[in-house]
Structure 1
Amino acid sequence: MPPLRITLSFVLCLLLTATFATPVEEGRALYDQHCARCHGADGTRGLFGAKNLQKSLLSDSAILHQITNGRRIMPAFKKRITPNQMTAIANYIKSFRKSSV
């Protein structure tokens, strides 16, 4: 039975880690899953006309609107992910912005 205990402990640790992921980690994971294909890992790719997210000046509400409803070739995510997940992605996207120094 010890291997079973080890396996159960491992699964419990994975579940707890996933449950308590930081917002940045959640945003990054969701971005990697849904956005990076076109926008690139750092937001600069521009595949299929995707905008450079490092240069984006969109407000929080405008970012959420585009994630929710899509734009041009970008699909809408309102039926794919939760509003909290959209907010996590939006916050992660804002971390790409370059400060004007």
Structure 2
Amino acid sequence: ADEEEGSESGSKDGFDDLNSVLAALDPVEPDPAQLSYHALFGIQTAQTIQVLGQIDSNPVQVLVDGGSTLNFIQNRVAQSLGLQSSPSPSLK
């Protein structure tokens, strides 16, 4: 019965205790946002790959850049797909 009570005291998925321990051992500090020059201008390099994708059955071109930490979509593409966007802080 004690084991059952212990398992019920956590969250439904049972990961709350583990997540608390991991957070205490390795606090995560966010890295500053980075956007490579190549990604900004859509230039392919050894760190980038251009692939075709789909958003709601609409074909889109995706530039994946291993040097960037941010994701962007062109305003005209977002509007044509009916996607909401939010402004991001300017990059330095």
Give the TM-score category using the shorter length: under 0.3
Which structure has the highest strand share of the two?
2
Choose 1 or 2 for highest CA Rg. 2
TM-score (normalised: structure 2): 0.27
